[in-house]
Structure 1
Amino acid sequence: MDMDCTREELPATGTVVPPLPDGTRLLHIGPHKTGTTAVQGALFAAKEEMARHGVDFPAHSRHPIEAVLAACARPAMMGDTAPTEHHWQRLLDQVRATGRRSSVLSSEFFADAEEETAIARIVEQLGGTGRVHVLVTLRPLARVMPSQWQQYVQNGLRMDYEQWLEHMLRRPPYDEPTPSFWRRHRHDRLVERWVGATGPDRVTVVVVDDRDRDALMRTFEALLGLPGGLLRPVPETANRSLTLAETEMLRNLNKEFRGNGLPEELYSRLVRHGAIAHMKNSCSPTPQDVKIRTPQWALEAAAGIGAEVAGRIGGMGVRVLGDPGRLSRVPESGGPAGEPRLAPEVAAQALFGVLATVAATNATGRADGTGKGRSVHRTSSKELVKVLGHRCLKRLGLR
């Protein structure tokens, strides 16, 4: 699918959004692929400045993923640290320390909470319906599907895109091989689950407009009563999607990885946090790169589901910002995709990411490849080569 907007669409228009009451705890639940990473990076970067305006960002990291997974009773990503109740309780302590001040939490993994009891518990522990306000950000399924597929590939999926679409759209009960997809992206049911815990007056739904990249930041500023322009995108948290060639390279690696029975911890450390992280942050897609294209039948199916979703959400009594009609529009398929070819420099960066992760792990003693200060992809190639060289020399007894 060509991810550009259709020519008939007009530029987005501004909407006046009144701020939430002082003392509100704004809970942004995603779901995935709706601008969450950019929002989290901007909030974390501006946490000190937000605090001067009476709004706290209580988490000690940009995205407290282990805490949220524990709260939602969901497992970790392949090979990552297993979430525990301790992670969640530590985050709750940080939230409670904000007292009566306003605060904001953001994690797309809150959308993975399936049980009504788990959602009610989260809301209650964060202060109850008197303080919690839930924010849901939505994008059309046609835009979510290719991005979500390549993300699943980054977590070990081996199925190609068209096969995956067949399973998600044509093979009831539509829960294999990625059961989390509809838990996250049947958006009407997602909103309904959280409305059941908070009531409709405590839920805001934002339909994200990709034509206005800053609109979502402005919405957060307005809801939190922050000055305009305070929240700004942070380049290193852009979390770009993989191209078709990059995804296919990784998908074939997943086949080899699974076929040889290698430990999942190795995948997390060397592949996700090593090869992929370094490749994504070192190489930017070019106009020559082949995009992931969604076939016409899937675009139409997604638009039909989007129409149902928009209709149901519109009848729930929640506040909706943006144009719900965007959820049901059928974009152009963009024609047949070209032959995906991986540029040599991209392959080299992926391979270097693996080597750099090994070097960083040896140097810091940590097994997750992130080190104590900087992750591998935030360290310069010169520094990483130096570390790797010293480790190799030491192993050879030549240092």
Structure 2
Amino acid sequence: MNLLFTEYTLGKNKLKNRVVMAPMTRSRAIGNIPNDLMAEYYSQRAGAGLLITEGVSPSPNGLGYARIPGIFSEEQVQGWKKVTDAVHTNQGRIFVQLMHSGRVGNRLNLPKGAELVGPSAIGLKGTTWTDAEGNQSYSSPREMTSKDIQAAIQEYVIASENAVKAGFDGVELHGANGYLIEQFLHPSANHRTDEYGGNWKNRNKFAVDVATAVVKAIGADKVAIRLSPYGVFNDLEIHNEIEEQYKDLAASLGKLGLVYIHIVDHSSMGAVKPTDSVVTSIRESYKSENPNGTYILSGGYDPERANSDLEQKNADLIAFGRNFISNPDLVERLEKGIPLAEPDASTFYTPGEKGYTDYPVASLSKV
């Protein structure tokens, strides 16, 4: 029996299979507000046991990219309610990923009054897209004060409360891919000398403080986190304390009772692969404190490899990313061995339905 297609209980949620749709930025939120097109996109993919949204900013300061959605205004909450209603109508379950972009972005993408901030005033190399002036260099961030840090933690809390109001089944804190939480974790982005920097124990503090506050606000059964040990996205650098640091972080998150930890592995796209020992130590540390917690692995999976990791209890759920873009019926295709359609990379981040909601299901395509 292939465990990938069996039911699973995640916290208080009954999932119809163990397939997770990974969070993927799609840049369709005009004015940073979720819309009917986004509701259609997610509902098309509700065959997954669990859907995780694209990165959603908990505050104006976190909107570093063009057309990414937020969840800090009433209009945004109502927009997301369209999405959750559509997914639930199709018997799906959906978590919102809270992503504060931190130092990653350009001021042209921010609303009036917002600013780029980070743990330290260390900018990124390269350019990013702006709708106003095309590709532009990343803007330099301002180093966050202690007051800024406490305000940011409260922004995550309010966003989580908004997520519950919008009908989400839970929230995934984005502690991966070089955004704000991971910026605090990494010595290449965090040069602070206060309680939030200096050594790895202090660098873990922001992630733990955010998780603690959100758990207190909405309950641990609705709170999860995504981590990317060995991630180098957005100018992060590999350092020699990763295993010790993430083992301790996982134990702290387990003590809080987080419903799942989701590990990113982008090696299939050319990134450094997390070592087996780190992935194992994170799982064991987390589960030693929270035996009923769920562990999600992602990165270049096919059904055979997914089932193997499920059988060996290396993971409880398996996340799939890009294949969900071009295969709204991915679960059915994987289960029945139907060939997969290839995504059009030129439309990953463009506005409109092209390359977003216009991919056919297998029964309507010519594959």
TM-score (norm 1): 0.34
- Greater CA radius of gyration, 1 or 2? 1
More helix by share: 1
TM-score (norm 2): 0.36
